[in-house]
Structure 1
Amino acid sequence: MAKIWHAALLIRIRDLSSAARVLAEVDELTAARPEAGGGLLAASLLCAADLAFAQGDVATAVDLTGKGVDQAQRTGLHRLLPDAHTVMALSALRQGNMSVSTEFANQLRDWALLGQTAHRPSQCAWAAAQLLEVQGGATSAAQLIVGIVTDDQLLLELLASQPAAAAWLVRATRQLGDQALAQRVVSVACALAARNRGLRSVAAAAMHAAGLLERNPERILAAAASHLDPWATASACEDAGKLFAVRPAERERAVKALESAADAYTNAAAPRDARRVVSRLRSLGVRRGRYPQYVGQDGMTTSELTKTEAAVAELVSQGFTNSQVGERLFISGHTVAFHLKKIFRKMNVASRVELTRAWSQVPSTATGSAKAR
């Protein structure tokens, strides 16, 4: 177990190559000592899932987490489940699978508030906060956001282990209108970086958060170049692009930063975030050839629907209005209505109720790929 802890710490500081080497040693040990039990295998699988997620390989992360959860349940190691579900929830959020995200949000929130996590309560709380924020804005996650930022232990644990957390918390607290909380996040992040000068990921996170607080896109771009986490890099490019975009003379730099963000999100298997950036580029008069793929019902679509139509069907089946669907897919409500007409025709349904019933019967193993958009 000591090697797994070592690998987990390396993942937190994003020394991913070293973490991979340590996990390879664990695999050799597990193969050589089958009597070590299923607990070691479960922990190593979940650590490997964490590594894959940090590398931006979300599909592998989901596969390994599923195997790790099965092993943990067979061996009675239920204390590992909240951390495993955190990886599953964040993976679903990155991929844009909102039905799975919704399923996890309340459970993760309850675990976080009740302290029922094994080793990383802050990350469970952060995952829940991100899910709730996507579903209903920062106000819906206010209790968790404030709880994380005002708790010294939770905040330090989170900032030390998640390179994207500091910037996300600055954005969230500002959306709540609490500049003092945003300043607290930056102060703690910068102090953490000062105490750990050899940790590039911690320094990049502090620089990113400080640049956001100062509204300094140059500093945020420097953080983007220094980040070791692919999603954090994309996030920094997006933040810099948004700040450049409000300066008419900096339009070209805004476009360049946002295009880098869209590419980085796509490479990090985060199509939901990439779509948001593509929409912002469109508002600047820049049209990219194709939208990043949106994951719908268990990542599958019916053979007759395009990717966008599948996304609309998925969200409508969850009860979202056209306007709410548009907000989540970064398209207008009128465009949603246009897609719905085509969906009704292709699926031979006449109402949203019938669509919901039909969509619930689409098997997760459905075959066929959607047509190109």
Structure 2
Amino acid sequence: MAKLWHAALLVRIRDLPSAARVLADVDERTAARPEAGGIVTASLLCAADLAFAKGDVDTAVDLAGKGVDQAQRTGLHHFLPDAHTVMALSALRQGNMSVSAEFANQLRDCALLGQTVHRPSQCAWAAAQLLEVQGGAASAAQLIVGIVTDDQLLLELLASQPAAAAWLVRATRQLGDEALARRVVSVASALAARNRGLRSVAAAAMHAAGLLELNPERVVAAAASHLDPWAAASAREDAGKLFAVRPAGREQAVEALESAADGYADAAAPRDARRVVSRLRSLGVRRGRYPQHAGQDGVSRSALTHTEAAVAELVSQGFTNSQVGERLFISGHTVAFHLKKIFRKMNVASRVELTRAWSQVPSAAAGGAQAR
């Protein structure tokens, strides 16, 4: 177990090559020990975390799913929130809103009821992200405030998730609580000062501080220091937004946002990439390579395009055109345009009929489950 703990620590500080080597050694040692159910489950989930940190979302989901199966077979149900966290965040990054929504309330309840054993802060943070996407920061306010005001939870999260500090600064500002935003930066900066050799912790603190100060140059420097590919892309997006409000900052904004879009695409985060492309469009820039929604496999191979599949999925969940547009970063008019084509292709005449037909599409929900 000591080696497994070491591997998990290496993933947290984003020394991913070393983490992979230690995990390989753990797997070799446990291969001949079928009775070591707890170690096998923990190893699978650590490997899932490693794959997610690398941006290999499909592998992360596959490993987390195997971890769920192993935990259920051996009765180790306390591992399930950890596995569901990986699966939920993977679905969120890929834009699979129906799957991520399935986990949101479950993870929130696990966090609020103290049912997470190993990583309570990360479970709470995952739930907060999912709820924020669904209904804005206000819908996740209880979790956000709970994390930021709890010393142990906040330290645990900032030490293990390079993107958490900046996300919390953005979220607390959306809640209108500047004092909480300053607290996040203060704790992140103190953590970095105590761990000067940990580049991921230092980059996270710099990113959060740059956001608080509205200093895009500092955020760009953080992006260059981030070891986590998604966190680096997030920093470049934040820098682009800050440059864009400067009178003569358009060129720097475009450069940062272009880099962010590429970074998100490389990190298997098409939902985030689409958001950045939408922002670039508002600056008069159109990219030749448009990041696609990671729709359901069964649908994307049919007559529907990726975007049409995304629209159909969200409409079938009861979202209005305006709400669908907000989640896919397109206008409500564009949603209506896609919806007309979906009705024609699926031979339906109403949203109710679409919902019924969509529920019958092979793997429309189950396939994804395996799967700002």
Q: What TM-score range do you get, normalising by the shorter chain?
A: over 0.9
Shift of 1:302: 4.9
Counterpart of 1:197 in 2: which secondary structure?
coil
Displacement after TM superposition at 1:36 (Å): 4.0
User: Per-residue CA shift, 1:45-78, capped at 9, x if unaligned?
Assistant: 1110010001110000000110111011101111
Structure 1 residue 19: Cα displacement: 0.4
1:302–1:362 Cα contact (<8 Å) kept: no
What's the RMSD between the two structures over aligned residues? 1.2
How far 1:27 moved relative to its partner?
A: 1.4
Q: Is 2:136 aligned against 1:137?
A: yes
* Residue in structure 1 matched with residue 10 of structure 2 by the alignment: 10
Map of 1:254 onto structure 2: 253
Gaps of 5+ in 1: 367-373
Aligned to 1:322: 321
In the other structure, the counterpart of 2:345 is 346
Structure 1 position 26, deviation (Å): 0.8
Deviates further, 45-54 or 301-310: 301-310
Task: Determine if contact 1:105/1:132 at 8 Å carries over to the other structure.
Answer: yes
How many Å apart are 1:37 and its aligned residue? Answer: 2.6
CA distance in 2, matches of 1:244, 1:270: 23
How far does residue 298 in structure 1 lie from its aligned partner after superposition? 6.2
Q: Which amino acid aligns with 1:279?
A: S
Determine if contact 2:23/2:43 at 8 Å carries over to the other structure: yes
Name the counterpart of 1:151: 150
Task: Give the distance between the partners of 2:40 and 2:148, measured in 1 at CA.
Answer: 34
Residue 223 (structure 1) aligns with:
222
- Report the alpha carbon displacement of residue 276 of structure 1 after superposing the two structures with TM: 0.3
Matched residue SS, 2:63: helix
1:290 CA drift (Å):
3.2
Conserved? CA contact 2:298–2:361, under 8 Å: no
Whichever residue aligns with residue 20 of structure 1, its letter is A
Q: Distance in 1 between matches of 2:316 and 2:339?
A: 11
Seen in structure 2, the aligned counterparts of structure 1 residues 299 and 278 have a Cα distance that, compared at 3 Å, is: farther
Q: Is the 8 A contact 1:97 1:298 kept in 2?
A: no
Q: Which runs of 4+ in 1 moved over 4 A?
A: none
**How many angstroms does 1:260 deviate by?**
0.3
Q: Contact 2:296–2:364 at 8 Å: present in 1 too?
A: no
SS in 2 for 1:46: helix
TM-score (norm: length of structure 2): 0.96
For residues 36 and 317 of structure 1, the distance between their equivalents in structure 2, rounded to whole angstroms, comes to 44
Other-structure match for 2:22: 22
Q: Following superposition of structure 1 onto structure 2, how do residues 109-188 of structure 1 map, counting pairs within 5 Å?
A: 109-188=108-187
Q: What is the CA–CA distance in structure 2 between the aligned matches of 1:186 and 1:364, rounded to whole Å?
A: 43
Shift of 1:291: 2.1
Query: Unpaired segments of 5 or more residues in structure 2?
Result: 366-372
2:236 aligned partner, one-letter code: C
CA distance in 2 between counterparts of 1:138 and 1:102 reads 15
The answer for the alignment partner of 2:368 in structure 1 is none
Normalised to the residue count of structure 1, the TM-score between the two structures is 0.96
Q: Percent identity between the aligned chains?
A: 88
Aligned partner of 1:61 in structure 2 is: 60
Hey, what's the Cα distance between the residues in 1 that align with 2:243 and 2:125?
A: 28
Structure 2 residue aligned with 1:103: 102
Q: Secondary structure at the match of 2:248?
A: helix
